[in-house]
Amino acid sequence: MFLQTIIFILALTGPATAGLPEVQTIKAARTDDDGNRLKLWLTINARKRFLEISWKNAPARMGDNVLLTVQDPHSFELRTLPTGTPLASFASDEGSGSGDGAADYVPVQGFTRKPLTSLAKSTKPPSSRQYWVANEGTAEIVAAIQPSLSTQWFTTGVPFDYALSRNVTAQTFCYGYWASYINAEGRILAKTCVRAYPRWMNELRSVVGELRLRDLFIPGTHDSGSYRPNFDPLIRESLVTKYALTQDDDIMGQLMHGVRYLDIRVGYYRASQEKFFIYHGITKQRPLQEVINQVKDFVHETNEIVIFGLKEFPVGFGKSLGVHRLLVSYLREQFQDLIAHPSLTWRASLLDIWSRQQNVILAYDKHAIVEEFPQLLFGAVEQRWGNVQTWPRLETYLRNINDFDVSRFSSRLVADMAELTPETWDVILDKHGGLRKMADSINWRISQLYRDELGENSNIVAVDFIRGTTIVETAIDWNRRKIAH
């Protein structure tokens, strides 16, 4: 079984002698000139829920590797396997993002690099192979990638189990998987993990506390309540779920992983005992009560600030204000003292909000109702929506609204809705393969666009399937840089 779980790396040096493995142990370096600017990210694609590894400013030298482990690695050792028959290898077609070719990956066990045709036809005896082990062999390595470019994004083919995310608490930091960029000697140049951000605002309190929410880069989700607990798209996907679901985490999971803006679409269902539900278009999703309970539990535990953006009201509200009044009464009853008083205004700093211990901002997209309930409701967050179906058009739209953004001189919050939107006939004919496929085609591009270019002046960025982006990490990095400037 040992030979079935190790990761082989073809020897870049001369053949080793047969016999017991030769061991070279290199401890992880705390700093390295090559790694000062190198960064790694771990994300999860939406369609097949495979882990993705991306990096920026990598040296990409001969012998460099990015290794994925299921424990936190502190050291890597290069060992030599005696000459023998290598394990079978196979190629993957699951590559995505930037960079040439598909990533090599291990779905369950065994080594899975793409075999070379010339090697397959060779009549020479098999040469010795070298392989990496982590933490003296106690940390399992499940994927290995040899970087060829300084900036790349790969889908590994290693499946992520969302049961891991459901166990995340306010005390969770890293969990599940770690990715390490190592050089040929085994020195760790950079490392990252699948991680939660349950208290990132509070952790940055000393540097962002005096800022307004409009000054921050805030991670958000589009149609935040469009999720299904324990849903597996590989087993249960249908035409309806393909175009109705937009997130893989429930509200608590989104908040624990750093989201602070929720896009809430409420419908009214008069015939039901539970009157208010989350809707995506005309498709009923989760009970509003479920969503509110998770927001309250999160805020009570973490003291983070959450923007609860109520939009559209697609079903059951009609043209009168009666159902809106019922909803506002319901929100007041549910959130009670957590509701931020609008007298704070959008000009309030984070410290102002925290000082009142009113951490839930109800941003309501119905001006007449906002005027009727000035003690409860903020005006709506402005959503900037491209309503496009291709990446080139979405990129052009996002660049334009950020290049000519006069809203930055206002205190009102604005949200870049950074997702593709299928048209009605696209859904009926399943032209795009579903929202998951559409998200996977752009989420890596969205991540790079805001990380490298648009992030400095961004406010809220809301995406589909946020776990497939680096928006949360990018937002935190840009917020730190704003203070530094």
First to last CA, the chain: 54
Contact 448, 391 (CB under 8 A): no
Q: Residue 123 has which token pair? A: 């009549």
- Within 8 A by CB and 6+ apart from 153, the residues are 52, 53, 54, 96, 97, 98, 99, 444, 448
- pLDDT bracket for residue 178 (50, 70, 90): very high
Is 60 exceeded by the pLDDT of residue 388?
yes
Average pLDDT, the chain: 86
Q: Determine the average pLDDT of the residues in 142-164.
A: 95
Q: How far is CA 326 from CA 145, 292, 363, in A?
A: 55, 16, 16
Q: Determine the average pLDDT of the residues in 63-86.
A: 86
Q: Which residue has the higher pLDDT, 96 or 242?
A: 242
Instruction: Please report which helix (H) or strand (E) contains residue 331, including its range.
Output: helix 322-335
Is 50 exceeded by the pLDDT of residue 28?
no
Handedness of CA 325, 329, 334, 338 (dihedral sign): positive
Closest CA to 58 of 32, 28, 35: 35
Q: Determine the average pLDDT of the residues in 438-464.
A: 96
Q: What is the C-alpha separation between 331 and 216, in angstroms, rounded?
A: 26
- pLDDT bracket for residue 36 (50, 70, 90): low
| Length of the chain (residues) | 485
Q: Determine the average pLDDT of the residues in 90-108.
A: 41
State residue 389's pLDDT score.
97
Q: What is the C-alpha separation between 485 and 482, in angstroms, rounded?
A: 5
Residue 399: alpha-carbon gap to chain centroid: 21
Contact 208, 305 (CB under 8 A): no
Is 80 exceeded by the pLDDT of residue 407?
no
- Within 8 A by CB and 6+ apart from 4, the residues are 87, 109, 110
Residues 448-454: contacts with CB within 8 Å, 24+ apart? Answer: 448/98, 448/151, 448/153, 449/395, 449/398, 450/418, 450/474, 451/56, 451/477, 454/398, 454/399, 454/402, 454/416
DSSP, collapsed to helix, strand or coil, labels residue 389 as coil
1-24 pLDDT, tens per residue?
Answer: 333 333 333 322 233 333 323 333
302-360 pLDDT, tens per residue?
Answer: 999 999 999 999 999 999 999 999 999 999 999 999 999 999 999 999 999 999 999 99
Neighbours of 17 (CB within 10 A): 10
Q: What is the C-alpha separation between 108 and 114, in angstroms, rounded?
A: 16
Residues 406-409: contacts with CB within 8 Å, 24+ apart? Answer: 407/382, 407/459, 408/214, 408/457, 408/459
Contact 312, 208 (CB under 8 A): no
Phi and psi based region of residue 157 (left: phi greater than 0; alpha: psi -120 to 50; beta: remaining): left
State residue 126's pLDDT score.
54
Closest CA to 466 of 100, 165, 137: 165
State residue 18's pLDDT score.
30
Which residues belong to CATH 3.20.20.190 in the chain?
A: 200-481
Which residues belong to CATH 2.60.40 in the chain?
A: 35-80+129-196
Q: Residue 282 has which token pair? A: 């005309």
Q: Which residue has the higher pLDDT, 98 or 202?
A: 202
* Least confident window among 175-189, 191-205, 396-410: 396-410
Contact 417, 462 (CB under 8 A): yes
CATH classification for the domain delimited by 200-481, as one of 3.40.50.300, 3.30.70.20, 3.10.580.10, 3.20.20.190:
3.20.20.190
State residue 108's pLDDT score.
30
Query: One-letter amino acid identity for 456?
Result: E
State residue 409's pLDDT score.
74
Half-sphere exposure of 86 (CA within 13 A, CB side): 23
Q: Is 135 exposed, middle or buried (0-12, 13-18, 19+ CB in 10 A)?
A: middle
- Within 8 A by CB and 6+ apart from 50, the residues are 44, 94, 105, 155, 156, 157, 158, 159, 160
- pLDDT bracket for residue 283 (50, 70, 90): very high
State residue 91's pLDDT score.
40
Q: Which CATH class is domain 35-80+129-196?
A: mainly beta
Q: What is the C-alpha separation between 300 and 40, in angstroms, rounded?
A: 32
State residue 481's pLDDT score.
84
- pLDDT bracket for residue 392 (50, 70, 90): very high
Kindly state the percentage of the chain with pLDDT values over 90. Answer: 78
State residue 124's pLDDT score.
54
Handedness of CA 41, 466, 247, 430 (dihedral sign): negative
